[in-house]
Amino acid sequence: MALLIDGKQISTDIKDELKETVARLKEQGIEGALAVIQVGADPASSVYVRNKKKACEYIGIRSVSYELPEETTEEELLGIIEKLNEDNTINGILCQLPVPAHMDENKIIRAIAPQKDVDGFHTQNVGALVVGQEGFVSCTPAGVIQLLKRSDIAIEGKHCVVVGRSNIVGKPMALLMLQENATVTICHSRTKNLKEICKEADILIVAIGKPKFINADYVKEGAVVIDVGIHRNENNKLCGDVDFDSVEPKASYITPVPGGVGPMTIAMLMNNCVEAFMD
């Protein structure tokens, strides 16, 4: 039976630590603010944005909301970002993705000043991660590293298989594990022998966006299994990319869904926000 990695508890610990740091900085007269931009009213995005603002409130930083209509032009959005880049009272800028189809997502990401890009999506921050320099790191993979470290799971020298190569999860995840001295294999939809490769993993990190795709046949006895996926099943219950019931008896550690990786993303966003105004 696997030990559960409690992302809810670990994310609360991180937010409580940040709350203390923010209070200490306030005493020194240092305060920060996050600008949160949402274009359109996608219900899932609205939930994420609300939770991000709630987290700001919890740790004691100001959040400034920009709720823009779906018809907003790319030029208008770029204009707002430019103003926020120049605004010294704003330390972090977050534009909730996806943006409407008439906008170029990459152009929006590139428009945010790298030193305010608390999502860690700007190519300058991604490049810094590649060469091992300081910069903002994408929140979900950064959260996975915290889950492993705070659960006392050794990374160095372990074979880590990352399934998924998206820009916001898979790729930065693999780079972070490499930085922690794991031996890293990245798999994707064209990978041959996925099952065999996954079975070699000491640490298996799954971010493919397919409900319950990874079952016990993909997992080595005693492996650490991290499930980044989030889905709602036919009964409206949350599940991950890993078939928990099948994998749990075989793994040494596993993240549940919900309550595993999910809560870490916002905790790490808050961490990036605090870093943005400590500098």
149 in catalytic set: no
Verify binding: residue 35, ligand NDP, rule CB under 6 A: no
How many whole angstroms separate alpha carbon 119 and alpha carbon 75? 21
Verify binding: residue 190, ligand NDP, rule CB under 6 A: yes
In 58-151, at which residue ranges do the beta strands (DSSP E only) sit? 62-68, 92-95
By CB under 6 A, the residues from 92 to 151 that bind ligand NDP are: 140
Phi-psi region of 24 (alpha: psi -120 to 50; beta: other; left: phi over 0): alpha
Out of 77, 161, 163, 225, the residue judged to bind ligand NDP by CB under 6 A: 163
Verify binding: residue 270, ligand NDP, rule CB under 6 A: no
Hey, which residues does 163 pair with through a beta bridge?
187, 206
How many whole angstroms separate alpha carbon 198 and alpha carbon 205? 9
Of 261 and 270, nearer to ligand NDP (C-beta) is 261
Verify binding: residue 169, ligand NDP, rule CB under 6 A: yes
How many whole angstroms separate alpha carbon 272 and alpha carbon 93? 11
Task: Give the active site residue among 96, 116, 202, 250.
Answer: 96
Task: Give the active site residue among 52, 171, 220, 250.
Answer: 52
Verify binding: residue 170, ligand NDP, rule CB under 6 A: yes
Contact, 155 vs 148, CB < 8 A?
Answer: yes
**Which residue ranges make up the site for ligand NDP (CB under 6 A)?**
140, 163-166, 168-170, 187-191, 194, 207-210, 228-230, 241, 261-262, 265
Active-site annotation, residues: 52, 96, 119
